[in-house]
């Protein structure tokens, strides 16, 4: 099955995610309207600026429909700003910033610092085989707290590049919702996207069995 995976196309790394999803075996649909959201089996929320994306979701009347679809079990994957949006709570955000609440986590915006503090690191990632995952962090969040149902997939290793970020949680999964603090769409390694596409296929198979 080649699932239809949407990429929220209001702001951020839309093309990069779309290319990786195609390589991972999905048909990709940019999502800007409610009619497009209704056509997808899963959705990627890309990196960008989380407060801007939050306002755009409201402006395009996608915020509440997206909350409902995620609550109903639609698989979702958020990278960087997408992780912030999927969290139940974001620290250091704007008072009017909206959350989708798909993950029982608390994140801290821009936890790694400003753009100049961006860095790269190799991570041990739970969920697929192979060598460590090379991760690119750009004004990234990290996870301060996880709920009981959240699986931690990756932490920053204790290295010279990591500094105070050592051992911070940077990838999580809760059911059909996946999130990374880094940008897997920028490295050419499609394993995170392949994991998500597999999650979408699994959710689709379960839905068909229930019918």
Domain with residue 119: its CATH number is: 3.40.50.880
| Contact assessment for residue 112 and residue 137, using Cβ atoms and an 8 Å cutoff | yes
Note the pLDDT tens digit of each residue in 29-81: 999 999 999 999 999 999 888 889 999 999 999 999 999 999 999 999 999 99
Q: Which residue bears the tokens 């960087």? A: 80
Looking at residue 113, what is its pLDDT?
Answer: 64
pLDDT averaged over every residue in the chain: 91
Note the pLDDT tens digit of each residue in 113-143: 654 457 889 999 999 999 999 999 888 899 9
- The enclosing H or E element of 32 equals none
Looking at residue 114, what is its pLDDT?
Answer: 57
For residue 155, the enclosing domain spans: 4-210
Domain count, the chain: 1
**Any alpha helices (H) in 5-62, and if so which ranges?**
14-23, 34-37, 50-59
Note the pLDDT tens digit of each residue in 68-86: 999 999 999 999 999 999 9
Beta strand pairing call for 151-155 and 169-174: antiparallel
Q: Which residue bears the tokens 């460590």? A: 132
**Any alpha helices (H) in 90-190, and if so which ranges?**
none
Q: Hey, which residues are catalytic here? A: 80, 183, 185
């Amino acid at each position: 099955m080649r699932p239809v995976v949407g990429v929220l196309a209001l702001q951020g790394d839309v093309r990069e995610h779309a290319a990786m999803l195609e390589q991972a075996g999905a048909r990709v649909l940019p999502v800007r309207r409610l009619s497009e959201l209704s056509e997808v089996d899963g959705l990627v929320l890309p990196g960008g600026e989380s407060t801007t994306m939050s306002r755009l979701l409201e402006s395009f009347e996608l915020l509440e429909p997206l909350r409902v679809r995620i609550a109903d079990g639609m698989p979702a994957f958020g990278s960087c700003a997408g992780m912030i949006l999927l969290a139940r709570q974001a620290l250091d955000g704007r008072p009017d910033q909206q959350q989708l609440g798909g993950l029982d986590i608390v994140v801290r915006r821009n936890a790694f610092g400003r753009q100049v503090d961006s860095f790269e690191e190799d991570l041990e990632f739970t969920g697929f085989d192979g060598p460590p995952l090379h991760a690119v962090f750009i004004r990234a969040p990290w996870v301060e707290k996880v709920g009981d149902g959240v699986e931690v997939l990756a932490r920053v290793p204790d290295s010279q590049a990591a500094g105070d970020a050592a051992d911070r949680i940077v990838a999580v999964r809760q059911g059909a919702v996946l999130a990374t603090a880094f940008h897997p769409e920028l490295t050419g390694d499609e394993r995170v996207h392949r994991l998500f596409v597999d999650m979408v296929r699994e959710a689709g198979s379960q839905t068909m069995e229930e019918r």
